[in-house]
Structure 1
């Protein structure tokens, strides 16, 4: 029941109805939503040293927990 309560609270925070969130993914057209995903972009690979360099030289860093 805690998952349902959390879902209800999150729906209120997003200003959406609970049934709209639960039933919104069924029967929808997926090709319209994936139109932007069809664009191919080059992949940038990096190492831990690259990430450390970028973070050390950044003016500000925003850490968003739970994103991605």
Structure 2
């Protein structure tokens, strides 16, 4: 199976190792870090969308 990973155009490292990559597979979303590609998290588009809405709203700002 050939997974097509995508990374953000906002990823600024020249070697591309400091970013998150996403892929779609069988209706799910796969997430991995470029510098540790063997660890993959699987979620649904609905759950990822809810997380992104929360992140954009600042719900996780106190974690950083």
- TM-score bracket, shorter-length normalisation: under 0.3
Higher helix share: 1
Larger of the two Rg values belongs to structure: 1
Point out which structure has higher relative CO (alpha carbons under 8 A, 6+ apart): 2
TM-score if structure 1 supplies the norm length?
0.26
TM-score (norm 2): 0.27
